[in-house]
Amino acid sequence: QLVYPYDFRLTEKEKTSICYLSFPDSYSGGLGDTQFSFRLRQSGGQRSTPYEDGGEYNREAPLTLQRESAHYFGYVYFRQVKDSSMKRGYFQKSLVLVSRLPYVNLFQSLLQLIAPEYFDKLEPCLEAVCNEIDQWPPPVPGQTLNLPVMGVVIQVRIPSRVDKPGSSPVKQCNQENLLPAPLVLPSIHELDLFRCFQPVLIHIQMLWELMLLGEPIVVMAPSPTVSSEMVLALTSCLAPLRYCCDYRPYFTIHDSDFKEYTTRTQAPPNIVVGVTNPFFIKTLQHWPHILRVGELRMSGDLPKQIKVKKLAKLRTLDTKPGIYTSYKTFLHKDKTLIKRLLKGIQRKRPSEVQSALLRRHLLELTQSFIIPLEHYIASLMPLQRAITPWKNPPQIRPFRQEDFMKTLEHAGPQLTCVLKGDWLGLYRRFFKSPNFDGWYRQRHKDMTQKLEALHLEAICEANIVAWMKDKSEVEIVDLVLKLREKLVRARCQHVPVKEETLQRVSLYIDTIIGSLPEDLQAVLHH
């Protein structure tokens, strides 16, 4: 009906997809307001975003909170109320906020403020809100922002890559006597994990493994709210490791990828997909892992835990909640976690405390798995003394899986994790997953940049005049061109090197050019 700001260009395909994803696609008898989220593949080429910061935000943000370049997130506020003046007897409308940032808490909180006003006052309300949002500062990792909207100030801290994993969010101290007192969001993106995982707490281990290995999973839920929360909870349980596969918190039968996901002629893609339409039970029953959940209800005791069942038991009409899979976990269950959570339920511990316990457990599990990989990959870096100024830096040695496996005997996950099981088998399977590929590429890129920085520093320390003494003009011109190329690359790729180092290299280039005959100087300056 309306896109705001007006000049934001969406393709027709994107508009259609957003429309279908903005409404519950199965019968929902529930009246009132619901909120959920979706993720949508961008169609029709690259588009610039209003905040083109040369990638600075993505370099400083945690990998899990980077701005996406090929997907949009949609945050939905849907209202359904009886209304006799409407043809269908109901008022049904959604307000959707579209962003490239995965700030689910911030944007859903924002919608809670805006949507009820919008349904009441319509377009003028959106115009006023957009004018306020236009004044917001861009998100800078590590900063606490005060964001005024509709007479409220939302206060949030943008996480940074240098935050210690698992540390609790910094307590907001700079209240600056804001009046009215700000609405402080403890986290910009973290869900109430305990609430999301309630029916599957005893299977957390299995779900973590399935996510780590990038297995295809369908979440079948009674509503888009449950489906999107469960999918986002699953994708967040590998932090600080980035989940590199595709995920769709809410997916409908009208989606352009529907054919690809439901075809039986090829294996399902590496994706977690959340659905609510019962029709999917029939069309997706060839997928290897199906998680069927009911409504999430917070109650005073441990909710009924769903069972692991054989895929053959998946009934088309009345599918009971359960994890339908034949997957056998590599690691044994962690009984102590379940006991601690149970104790928390008996003592009526607040949900956020239980969530923190759960998040800490998953973080420690992921770190135990990743630390041996980090140690091994660090050993592939050339020694610093092998980096000399006038030679190209040595190569990073190749990652050999068998060599890595040998390191596990004395430096494996058993040093930091009490869980027993087939860790070697888990690593072998991980090597075949997109998550390993994504992790390795990122690490390789970081190390290549580090080498480049060390090389530039070595050049700065060198005695350039002594080197030039016995060199021909051709060699000297060649050095100038190489150094120039290095400088350009260092600036373009934002190599982590001090600005003064780059300026010194620049000065070197001028010194070298100055020592050459005038005709060559003119060519090089040109």
The burial class, CB within 10 Å (0-12 / 13-18 / 19+), for 481 is exposed
Instruction: Give yes or no: residues 405 and 520 share one domain.
Output: no
Nearest-angstrom CA–CA distance, 411 and 48: 45
Instruction: Give yes or no: residues 290 and 405 share one domain.
Output: yes
* CA 374 to each of CA 445, 454, 462: distance values in angstroms, whole numbers, following the listed order: 14, 20, 32
Share of the chain above pLDDT 70, in %: 92
Is 184 part of any domain? no
CB burial readout 141-174, b (16+ within 10 A) else e: beeebbbebeeebbbbbbbebeeeeeeebeeeee
Nearest to 216 by CA among 308, 320, 327: 327
Nearest-angstrom CA–CA distance, 448 and 441: 10
* DSSP summary character for residue 306: P
Instruction: Give yes or no: residues 245 and 377 share one domain.
Output: yes
Q: Please report how the helices 434-461 and 499-514 are oriented relative to each other, as an axis angle in degrees rounded to 10.
A: 50
Instruction: Give yes or no: residues 507 and 412 share one domain.
Output: no
Residue 168's pLDDT band (cuts 50, 70, 90): low
Q: Which residue, of 138, 159, 174, is where some domain finishes? A: 138
The residue type found at 68 is E
Instruction: Give yes or no: residues 292 and 435 share one domain.
Output: yes
What is the total count of domains within the chain?
A: 3
Q: Which helix (H) or strand (E) holds 145?
A: strand 144-149
Instruction: Give yes or no: residues 76 and 201 share one domain.
Output: no
CB 449, CB 495: distance < 8 Å: yes
How much is the average pLDDT of 76-100?
A: 88
Nearest to 247 by CA among 365, 352, 367, 104: 104
Averaged confidence pLDDT in the chain? 86
Q: Note the pLDDT of residue 54.
A: 65
Instruction: Give yes or no: residues 369 and 498 share one domain.
Output: no
Is 107 part of any domain? yes
Phi, psi (deg, nearest 5) at residue 158: -85, 120
Is 173 part of any domain? no
Q: Which residue, of 138, 156, 183, is where some domain finishes? A: 138
The H-assigned helical ranges of 314-400 are 335-346, 351-378
CATH code of the domain containing 430 = 3.40.50.11500
Instruction: Give yes or no: residues 227 and 100 share one domain.
Output: no
DSSP secondary structure, 469-520, as one string: TT--HHHHHHHHHHHHHHHHHHHHTT-S--HHHHHHHHHHHHHHHHTS-HHH
The two structure tokens encoding residue 289: 């892992």
Torsion of CA 277, 278, 279, 283, to 10 degrees: 100
How much is the average pLDDT of 493-497?
A: 83
Instruction: Give yes or no: residues 200 and 257 share one domain.
Output: yes
The two structure tokens encoding residue 121: 């006052």
Is 2 part of any domain? no
DSSP secondary structure, 15-43, as one string: HHHHHHHTS-SS-----EEEEEEEEEE--
Nearest to 160 by CA among 242, 55, 65, 52: 65
pLDDT tens string 452-483: 899 888 888 887 777 777 878 888 788 888 88
Is 516 part of any domain? yes
How much is the average pLDDT of 489-498?
A: 84
Instruction: Give yes or no: residues 430 and 474 share one domain.
Output: no
CB 41, CB 33: distance < 8 Å: no
Q: Note the pLDDT of residue 96.
A: 95
Instruction: Give yes or no: residues 368 and 234 share one domain.
Output: yes
pLDDT tens string 283-321: 888 899 999 998 766 655 667 788 888 877 776 656 788
The residue type found at 261 is Y
Is 453 part of any domain? no
User: What is the span of the domain harbouring residue 266?
Assistant: 192-447
Q: Which residue, of 138, 157, 175, is where some domain finishes? A: 138
pTM: 0.89
Tokens 């993720």 belong to 39
Q: Note the pLDDT of residue 471.
A: 79
Q: Residues 408-413: contacts with CB within 8 Å, 24+ apart?
A: 408/372, 411/372, 411/375, 412/372, 413/368, 413/369, 413/371, 413/372
Strands across the sheet containing 144-149: 144-149, 152-157, 183-184
Is 170 part of any domain? no
Say which residue, 502 or 330, is predicted with more confidence.
Answer: 330
Nearest-angstrom CA–CA distance, 521 and 526: 8
How much is the average pLDDT of 388-407?
A: 90
Instruction: Give yes or no: residues 467 and 375 share one domain.
Output: no
Q: Note the pLDDT of residue 29.
A: 61
Q: How far from the centroid of its chain's Cα atoms is residue 41's Cα?
A: 15
The two structure tokens encoding residue 299: 């109650």
Q: Note the pLDDT of residue 301.
A: 63
Q: Note the pLDDT of residue 460.
A: 81
Say which residue, 25 or 145, is predicted with more confidence.
Answer: 145
Beta bridge partner(s), residue 37: 75
Is 149 part of any domain? no
